[in-house]
Structure 1
């Protein structure tokens, strides 16, 4: 299975997102909790706004477009075939938050994309590359969820965005890759990331450091992972195919 026909699902159940999620692997048992989780990652809240986005998605033929991405990168990376779901993004996020144009979340057995109309269609491919890279790397590492550490998480993000740079171009890498000057990020890494590389995903500190929550600099873990991957790549072959299954510890100097 590849790109699931959620365009047909939305036509019938856009007002009832819990019914949509019943049809997914991770949402089949507890739709309410799963929906809350997906909304944190960008899934639509308002069915009224989502209906407008859905029409834009159909006009852009995004299901066909993502199916082509899946074929392309599954072949390039010898990747797994997992269900891929497209839903409208949660564009309006409140008075003091900017609109979201694209987002995604990857599990080892399915991927969710939250999208709307983009002026530059290459943005869709950049989103796909980042999330599908996660899926392929999870398959290569073959670790249990409970075994993943902060180091694994930051390298996941660094490698995925390195793949975006390789296949889509520097223009399409995420803003967090340029958030900090080298000297500043090196200091943050040494102070906060390096002492906690072995903490597990289950620790609250994991997400605080990865995302830059609480008092930590924003997207600290993401930016640190990208820095480590780039430092490693400057000295060696840094192609995506070469690095896809490399253990996370390899990137720590």
Structure 2
């Protein structure tokens, strides 16, 4: 069987100070490591190799590579998911008096997944992170769309469904804070005012990320929270499991 969790422990052992070298071993990083590294840093990949060394030691102590291999086997079987390379790297810990520390992050492409992590007091947090990102990967395969075809509606449903999967498989305790950020009435108002009129906006438009992440003057994590809200309302009506919905068209979830 193809090994999908890449041996980044060995890569880090040899080249933790040369992240661009590490990215030559990946699919999306093999041609232009510099710009790809910039992109991954925005999603949580380590910057400082000094801090990364400390995290790397903890990752080895906690058998992170073995742990993620078990998650991959478990959810690939449950969800009939694809074989994609999985890369584990230290997270970029934000330092400073007014910065909260980042504990875990991830970014998913249709052909590979990156996880950025550090030590967790509760190891279930690792599984919650895996569930969220691998869910994206499975859904991407089932939707089978080109990146340029994805709209804001697609993006918010990706996030809403993935976090409902976290709730279902790991427990509500492990869902992201943005799932509880807004009261239902408030979210309904925000959705109608800002999200609904822009559901067809594609990823290439700056407005897509402004709405998805709640940048500029929009409420924080607006699109993520709106996606969770739409999926939650759909689940209340249909009483379906997230696995039954994983390949459904995004329009299925519209009220």
Aligned to 2:26: 24
The whole-number CA distance in structure 2 between the counterparts of 1:95 and 1:26 is 35
The whole-number CA distance in structure 1 between the counterparts of 2:63 and 2:83 is 21
1:237 shift after superposition: 3.1
Alignment of 1:29-40 (within 5 A): 29-40=31-42
The whole-number CA distance in structure 2 between the counterparts of 1:237 and 1:244 is 14
CA contact (8 A) 1:212 1:221 kept: yes
Corresponding residue SS for 2:114? strand
Output the aligned Cα RMSD.
0.7
TM-score, normalization by structure 1: 0.99
The whole-number CA distance in structure 2 between the counterparts of 1:219 and 1:93 is 22
Corresponding residue SS for 2:34? helix
Following TM superposition, the consecutive aligned residue runs of length 4 or more in structure 1 with deviations greater than 4 angstroms are: none
List per-residue Cα deviations over 1:12-59 (Å, max 9, x = no partner). Answer: 000000000011000001101000000000000000000000000000
Query: Which of 57, 69, 72 does residue 71 from structure 2 map onto?
Result: 69
2:209 corresponds to 1:207: yes
2:140 corresponds to 1:138: yes
1:180 shift after superposition: 0.5
Query: Which of 9, 33, 36 does residue 7 from structure 1 map onto?
Result: 9
Per the alignment, do residues 72 and 201 of structure 1 end up closer, same or farther by CA in structure 2, a change over 3 Å counting?
A: same
1:91 shift after superposition: 1.1
The whole-number CA distance in structure 2 between the counterparts of 1:24 and 1:216 is 35
The whole-number CA distance in structure 2 between the counterparts of 1:92 and 1:225 is 27
TM-score, normalization by structure 2: 0.98
List per-residue Cα deviations over 1:60-115 (Å, max 9, x = no partner). Answer: 00000000000000000000000000000011244422000000000000000000
Corresponding residue SS for 2:119? coil
Aligned to 1:115: 117
Structure 2 unaligned regions, length at least 5: none
Corresponding residue SS for 2:35? helix
Corresponding residue SS for 2:57? helix
The whole-number CA distance in structure 1 between the counterparts of 2:78 and 2:50 is 39
The whole-number CA distance in structure 2 between the counterparts of 1:93 and 1:22 is 28
List per-residue Cα deviations over 1:130-171 (Å, max 9, x = no partner). Answer: 000000000000011110000000000000000000000011
2:59 corresponds to 1:57: yes
The whole-number CA distance in structure 2 between the counterparts of 1:240 and 1:93 is 37
The whole-number CA distance in structure 2 between the counterparts of 1:232 and 1:118 is 33
CA contact (8 A) 1:93 1:100 kept: no
Structure 1 unaligned regions, length at least 5: none
Q: How many residues align?
A: 253
Corresponding residue SS for 1:231? helix
The whole-number CA distance in structure 2 between the counterparts of 1:85 and 1:207 is 25
